[in-house]
Structure 1
């Protein structure tokens, strides 16, 4: 079965619901014709995400040497015990205290961006707010100096969007790898109060450091931007829930969890490869096959979630798999949740009647396998209050 065409990108949920209804595991092809197995039910997804016989290692032999070295050592593409060792070391630097200490800076960045929004008639919420916010936060977290952020932003945009094609993406990756190597050398000579300096104390391999910096940049950038944009989109579709949130701001954490479930900012998990014949549901997948979990499908599984296609701020039991599960559970989940709570709370507090400026059918969703978010979201800032 072929998926991921334009119709699927515009609205994947009817297709995924049909797949989920006919079984938990499906042999499909990407838009480029690459075959893999797609898991569409919650129970089987949990099995896949915790099965140690499914490897996260991916071939990187065809990549240029600098990229191969950085990606081959990236934590996301490692299995235990290497992954266990690396995650333990990184967790020692990426603490809850360090994340929580970012809140005042996240508030400052958010308010500055909202000031900019207020000067425009119908600003694009994605390009003017949802994307710049997590980018600025990740730069602050890693310790990227202000004067470096212009070219750094340009490289990261190419890597995340893939809009320049394979050659442009490879060039941007090479540039950003070279930049991180230089920045790491500067941090080694003059450590600062940032995550990259802290990682220097626990990681003694330069490729490990570059791989971790790349992972934090990509994983912590577009997913959070999608989370913010998807939240505003969903609230426009469920105005009753928006009214409840306005009446009770303490429901903001529940909103974040419901958006993660109902409109997962990552459409799928990253690839896993079977290292032996593996039975998922009633399907035995041969060794050497690639397996993906459809987060969009499993987070709306009606066997796990009542009224699964509905936004409900009082659902109570999160249980979603938007951040994965098991040993590869997203290390940056606390930061993403904090950014989303601050961004949405201050956005809706400043512009309580914010609405999309175009009909839902005119909005375009990003194409591609991994991410689920809007390309743009023009909004009307009616009912604005002071900063």
Structure 2
């Protein structure tokens, strides 16, 4: 059951984002949806805010002109309420994710060309090569933890090669990113500062010795026309490209594999019909998206949302995990059931409106390739401990498994002599 807190005014508030809530997220969100599409809640960091759980209201909130992504104008009130605020220069501030037009439009335009469907398609051969290399490393063992051996290293390698991050730094990037996506805390701040410091040094190194990578191209934009990109924006853009460029796909793949391991009949359908895997990726995004909740939005003035009065400077968060299960499906279909052949699966996993995820084409392609090759190479993939419940990431805005222990029939590497 949902647990409630009682603030000073005595009104009961749902407490979300705790490990206990996240462990049973789908059940808890279903209970909230039964009571309405929006609720006053207490977040994991103790702050109060509004949580949108309904699909249609989620789309409205994600594109609402009176909800700002920029915390700067509200910094004083937010600090006074005990909120941990990430402003420009912090390593998360100064980027398109935390900006409104016209700054958002300018920052997004600088990197949008790299993430078009046509541009990311050129990365497909390298993604396939990496997927096979990773599977080769454990295929003969008969078992592995897919999170550490496959669903994590593939996305971090792809985005690192695209940005120009050296191989020896990638393990640290993973740790810093995981900390930075957690509940606001000293650990989160330490992760951000470490990530901030490393990328500042890397940008300085690339300024001295440019390479054929995205970070070098961003530096060129900054140095050729300082009006396009400030130093804080350059750093903030680098940080968000590293974090968002792999964390979403890590959890997309992890959640998809949880779903398929729990529904082996659905995995058999995809092995027999691999042409349906791109459509199945949309179903995985609906069924269990990689971001549980969105980053906070801030009300620029009083307005009504879902029948509730949102006051100026109050915060609104959208539960993407809930919205996917509330999205319309075919007549007679059950939104709580996984259907990898579902046509036109609707979801809000990549957002909606001007902040729609710029990396969506990359995540979709990477997800399709990674799942196709894994299902093909390991046809009898199964849970190593089928009675053991999945351990989910306990805090933060992301949703994904901590580990995926699996078994399979050992196979030799292609071309090897046995």
Please say if residues 113 and 119 of structure 2, whose CA atoms lie closer than 8 Å, have aligned partners that are also in contact.
no
Shift of 1:35: 1.1
1-side partners of 2:263 and 2:141: how far apart?
25
Task: Work out which of the residue numbers 269, 279, 282 in structure 1 matches 2:304.
Answer: 279
Deviations 1:150-177 (A, max 9, x none): 5444544543567xx9444433422322
Task: Work out which of the residue numbers 68, 79, 82 in structure 1 matches 2:103.
Answer: 82
Is the counterpart of residue 205 in structure 1 residue 227 in structure 2? no
Is the counterpart of residue 35 in structure 1 residue 44 in structure 2? no
SS at 1:36 equivalent: strand
Task: Work out which of the residue numbers 145, 158, 177 in structure 1 matches 2:166.
Answer: 145
Deviations 1:70-117 (A, max 9, x none): 433121110111101111122144444442222222122211211122
Shift of 1:227: 0.9
Where does residue 366 of structure 1 map in the other structure?
Answer: 393
Shift of 1:48: 0.4
Is the counterpart of residue 185 in structure 1 residue 209 in structure 2? no
Alignment of 1:238-249 (within 5 A): 238-249=263-274
Shift of 1:147: 4.2
**TM-score, scaled relative to structure 1:** 0.91
1-side partners of 2:300 and 2:336: how far apart?
35
Please say if residues 148 and 403 of structure 2, whose CA atoms lie closer than 8 Å, have aligned partners that are also in contact.
yes
Where does residue 287 of structure 2 map in the other structure?
Answer: 262
Alignment of 1:1-387 (within 5 A): 1-59=14-72, 68-160=89-181, 166-203=185-222, 204-301=229-326, 303=328, 306-359=333-386, 361-382=388-409, 384=411, 386-387=413-414
Evaluate the alpha carbon distance shift between residue 149 and residue 33 of structure 1 in structure 2; reply closer, same or farther with a 3 A threshold.
closer
Evaluate the alpha carbon distance shift between residue 47 and residue 150 of structure 1 in structure 2; reply closer, same or farther with a 3 A threshold.
closer
Please say if residues 353 and 383 of structure 1, whose CA atoms lie closer than 8 Å, have aligned partners that are also in contact.
no
Q: Which runs of 5+ in 1 are unaligned?
A: none
Please say if residues 181 and 396 of structure 2, whose CA atoms lie closer than 8 Å, have aligned partners that are also in contact.
no
Shift of 1:56: 0.5
Shift of 1:326: 0.5
1-side partners of 2:231 and 2:118: how far apart?
25
SS at 1:312 equivalent: coil
Shift of 1:25: 0.7
Deviations 1:270-323 (A, max 9, x none): 111111122112212111111011111111116556411111122211221100
1-side partners of 2:170 and 2:142: how far apart?
27
Evaluate the alpha carbon distance shift between residue 241 and residue 289 of structure 1 in structure 2; reply closer, same or farther with a 3 A threshold.
same
SS at 2:361 equivalent: helix
Evaluate the alpha carbon distance shift between residue 172 and residue 298 of structure 1 in structure 2; reply closer, same or farther with a 3 A threshold.
closer
Evaluate the alpha carbon distance shift between residue 238 and residue 202 of structure 1 in structure 2; reply closer, same or farther with a 3 A threshold.
same
SS at 2:290 equivalent: coil
**TM-score, scaled relative to structure 2:** 0.85
Shift of 1:384: 4.4
Evaluate the alpha carbon distance shift between residue 361 and residue 65 of structure 1 in structure 2; reply closer, same or farther with a 3 A threshold.
closer
SS at 2:51 equivalent: strand
Please say if residues 233 and 356 of structure 1, whose CA atoms lie closer than 8 Å, have aligned partners that are also in contact.
no
Please say if residues 66 and 177 of structure 1, whose CA atoms lie closer than 8 Å, have aligned partners that are also in contact.
no
Q: RMSD in angstroms over aligned alpha carbons?
A: 2.5
1-side partners of 2:86 and 2:379: how far apart?
50
Once structures 1 and 2 are overlaid, which stretch shifts more, 335-344 or 25-34? 25-34
Please say if residues 57 and 273 of structure 1, whose CA atoms lie closer than 8 Å, have aligned partners that are also in contact.
yes
Evaluate the alpha carbon distance shift between residue 223 and residue 334 of structure 1 in structure 2; reply closer, same or farther with a 3 A threshold.
same
Please say if residues 349 and 385 of structure 1, whose CA atoms lie closer than 8 Å, have aligned partners that are also in contact.
no
Please say if residues 351 and 385 of structure 1, whose CA atoms lie closer than 8 Å, have aligned partners that are also in contact.
no
Shift of 1:190: 2.9
Please say if residues 220 and 332 of structure 1, whose CA atoms lie closer than 8 Å, have aligned partners that are also in contact.
yes
Shift of 1:10: 1.7
Deviations 1:112-143 (A, max 9, x none): 21112224343111112111111111110101
